[in-house]
Amino acid sequence: MPQALQLPESLQALHTLAYNLKWSWTPSTQELFAQINPTLWKESRSNPVEVLKNTEESRLTELAADESFVAKVNAEHKALEAYLSDTAPSLAGEVGQGLAKGIESLSGPIAYFSMEYGITESLPIYAGGLGVLAGDHTKSASDLNIPFVGIGMMYRSGYFEQSLDENGLQQSLYPERDFSNLPVLPVLDGEGQPLILDIPLPHRKLFFRIWEAKVGRSTLYLLDTQLNTNREEDRELTAKLYGGDTTTRICQELLIGVGGVRALQAMGVNASVYHLNEGHAAFVGIERVRQAIEQDGSLSLEQAIEQVKGSQVFTTHTPVPAGHDRFMTDMVRPYFQALLPENQHGNIQDLLELGLEYKDHMNSLFCMTVLALHTCRACNGVSKIHGDVSRKMWQHLWPQSEADDVPIGHITNGIHAATWTSTTYSKLFDQYIGEGWESHLVDDAAWNKVNEIPAGALWDARQACKAALIDFARYRVRLQRSIRNESAEALEAANSILDPNAFTIGFARRFAPYKRATLIFSDSERLSAILNNSERPVQILFAGKAHPHNREGQALIQTIHDFAKKPEFAGKIVLLENYDMAVGRHLVQGVDLWLNNPTPPQEASGTSGQKVAFNGGVNLSILDGWWDEGYNGENGWAIGDGKLFDQVQQQNDHDVNSMYSLLENDIVPMYYNRDADGVPQEWIAKVRKAMQTLISPFNTHRMVRDYLTDIYAAN
């Protein structure tokens, strides 16, 4: 059991501040923790619990006697309490009123099921975009005062920590976390002991406990199977995110789906809506149908399914067929046999068919997405194009319908503004959009006021954010080199990589081959000419992990590593290791241009380019996912004009040519075209257009509002 933190009397409030992740979008609270112990703050990846646990008593005593520090602690604590108890609508005007009405109509909290949550880098229970989206959703639900609980998993090692060896070969490390260093507390039973629940698996029970993480007004319940009462392999179910084999995966999915429903019941949470974020948790439906029949023996299976469906909704996240979990049907059957009581065994075949892609096919696979589509009253993709692609992709489930009539809609993804906006820009928004600018996030007109921000102020903010990114990149590269035992000169040289005045491009994402991370290297001479123009220098920062089983992805990393070592690119192409929310935050806040060039139409939405718009950055992207909706001809650049080719090579050639010529003829010249004060007026006009048109449509306040009015409350 984690001990309460030992804190001097006058600093007790730090405990509350550390154990509510509201700090992760509250810069003033972050400053407080940094001030306690700047080194530890940095080394712990911004982890307040670790800072408080490991700071020397003498330092805490000193701070406890520092009146101005104590006053700050109390002010932060008061602000948190005020946030938690505030009942006023958090969005200005009519939008706020509409929101309040939607919230009133809910009979209970939204229960959101997700295999990953990206809340902050020091809580490593996420891998990438899906998790970051879930985290941003959780935070906006809190800000908007929508009752919300998230069900997830408390991984001992999470995804993996990436480092590269001297040849650019990815090493994946799985450090085990001590949960007492994390901002989670165990859920207890009536006797004050950790609450232990179980679900049936073939020939055994799977036991699990629950950790609670507070995220503002939202709560995450994170399931954990590391208990001595479990078999060895069952304890491993919550060790790694997306690790193991199909047996691991199916058991994890039973845990989050069946175990998640039972956890909510055991804690007395009466959810009004069960939201399945991706198909992973679709067993929620099976457990709820089982319970419905157990409670009311007169219900037919069909009636039970209809009843359950009435309060279940589903968001699908990938247009890539291999991204959907599929199992051999015979593999699933024994799990259903274990789950259902004898008197319901007659239903097993019908329940299995809910997940079958092709009902009349002997060997049809059981697909979690299909199960979700069949057991939810509302289903959506995450951008307009992705909605289209999904309707086509799943049309065979509705053979009588035209693709347009397949019941999958879309709500375009967004980002949580306060998490991803640098304090530099946040201050400008407070000044020009209005104090508490986040309350205007769903108000297009409010963002016309960015035109009132002086060009000089926008430019200074841009330069300051870029300088912060370069400081961070140098620190990280030095660290990477020291871990590889490189020479003292190499470590020293890290201090002068990248030029704070050069045009800076960012590219960071999962290294899945369809993302085409190395596309820009197609013609290395042409690239070198762009980067090495002495009047108009350009540099590129890369980051991203490849799944440890994905060799192709790892080869892409090596290619970038090799290019970065070539003399003409040294110090200008920089690969940052271990892409996580911290690396992501620095990149999206610091770069001038965000590059995104996946093979269309395989990007479900993408969100990292949205983060850039909040920080004075501009997008150069394929017209896919969110950018197809965001791009208006003036607020950034589109690679390839949305043209689609059947041949991969043709698509690549077309897209990379478009990218090079945009950089050569439009983007870089515009950036370096300066007025007498050294300000690139035309560039800043572009930045303003991006802010004016992209901030209010592409944030999670807007997104969660849409989920509330179009899905949660629309029944």
Ligand X SMILES: *Cc1c(COP(=O)(O)O)cnc(C)c1O
The residues binding ligand X (CB under 6 A) are: 128-129, 132, 509, 579-581, 584, 606-608, 611
Burial 629-639 (b: 16+ CB within 10 A, else e): bbbeeebbbbb
| CB of residue 473 to ligand X, shortest distance in Å | 16
3-state secondary structure 456-470: HHHHHHHHHHHHHHH
| CB of residue 581 to ligand X, shortest distance in Å | 5
| CB of residue 129 to ligand X, shortest distance in Å | 3
| CB of residue 594 to ligand X, shortest distance in Å | 9
| CB of residue 485 to ligand X, shortest distance in Å | 28
Which residue has the closest beta carbon to ligand X?
584
For residue 6, how many C-alpha atoms fall within 13 Å in the half-sphere facing its CB?
A: 9
Do 403 and 624 form a contact (C-beta atoms < 8 A)?
A: no
| CB of residue 476 to ligand X, shortest distance in Å | 14
Could you give the 3-state DSSP secondary structure of residue 498? coil
Pick 19 or 425: Cβ nearer ligand X: 425
Pick 53 or 509: Cβ nearer ligand X: 509
CA 625 to chain centre: 16
Pick 312 or 318: Cβ nearer ligand X: 318
Q: Is the dihedral of CA 695, 609, 582, 153 positive or negative?
A: positive
Q: Which two three-digit tokens encode residue 529?
A: 């000419």
Pick 216 or 606: Cβ nearer ligand X: 606
Pick 374 or 547: Cβ nearer ligand X: 547
Pick 41 or 579: Cβ nearer ligand X: 579
Taking the C-alpha atoms of residue 204 and residue 200, their distance in angstroms, rounded to an integer, is: 6
Would you call the peptide bond into 601 cis, given omega within 30 degrees of 0 as the criterion? yes
Taking the C-alpha atoms of residue 372 and residue 45, their distance in angstroms, rounded to an integer, is: 36
Pick 119 or 538: Cβ nearer ligand X: 119
| CB of residue 584 to ligand X, shortest distance in Å | 3
Pick 382 or 564: Cβ nearer ligand X: 382
Pick 607 or 700: Cβ nearer ligand X: 607
Taking the C-alpha atoms of residue 137 and residue 90, their distance in angstroms, rounded to an integer, is: 15
Pick 238 or 608: Cβ nearer ligand X: 608
Pick 286 or 593: Cβ nearer ligand X: 593
Pick 77 or 545: Cβ nearer ligand X: 545
Where on the phi/psi map is residue 625: left (φ > 0), alpha (ψ -120 to 50), or beta? left
Pick 96 or 625: Cβ nearer ligand X: 625
Angle at 371 between CA 366 and CA 373, to 5 degrees: 135
| CB of residue 346 to ligand X, shortest distance in Å | 44
Do 109 and 271 form a contact (C-beta atoms < 8 A)?
A: yes
Q: Say if strands 538-543 and 326-327 run parallel, antiparallel, or are unpaired.
A: unpaired
Taking the C-alpha atoms of residue 294 and residue 153, their distance in angstroms, rounded to an integer, is: 27
| CB of residue 437 to ligand X, shortest distance in Å | 21
| CB of residue 586 to ligand X, shortest distance in Å | 10
Q: Which two three-digit tokens encode residue 261?
A: 């429903």
Do 447 and 414 form a contact (C-beta atoms < 8 A)?
A: no
| CB of residue 119 to ligand X, shortest distance in Å | 11
Angle at 121 between CA 440 and CA 590, to 5 degrees: 60
| CB of residue 304 to ligand X, shortest distance in Å | 37
Burial 468-484 (b: 16+ CB within 10 A, else e): bbbebbbebbbebbeee
Other beta carbons less than 10 A from residue 292's beta carbon: 17
DSSP assignment, residue 65? T
Angle at 633 between CA 632 and CA 636, to 5 degrees: 90
Taking the C-alpha atoms of residue 128 and residue 244, their distance in angstroms, rounded to an integer, is: 18
Do 324 and 381 form a contact (C-beta atoms < 8 A)?
A: no
- In which residue are the tokens 């990218």 written? 659
Q: Quick one: which of 592, 595, 596, 564 has its CA closest to 480? A: 564
Q: Between 455-483 and 423-432, two packed helices, what is the crossing angle to 10 degrees?
A: 160
| CB of residue 128 to ligand X, shortest distance in Å | 4
Q: Between 368-375 and 283-295, two packed helices, what is the crossing angle to 10 degrees?
A: 50
Taking the C-alpha atoms of residue 186 and residue 195, their distance in angstroms, rounded to an integer, is: 8
| CB of residue 541 to ligand X, shortest distance in Å | 14
| CB of residue 198 to ligand X, shortest distance in Å | 34
Pick 554 or 607: Cβ nearer ligand X: 607
Pick 312 or 383: Cβ nearer ligand X: 383
Taking the C-alpha atoms of residue 422 and residue 696, their distance in angstroms, rounded to an integer, is: 17
- Residue 156, C-beta contacts closer than 8 angstroms, at least 6 positions apart: 176, 177, 226, 238, 239, 240
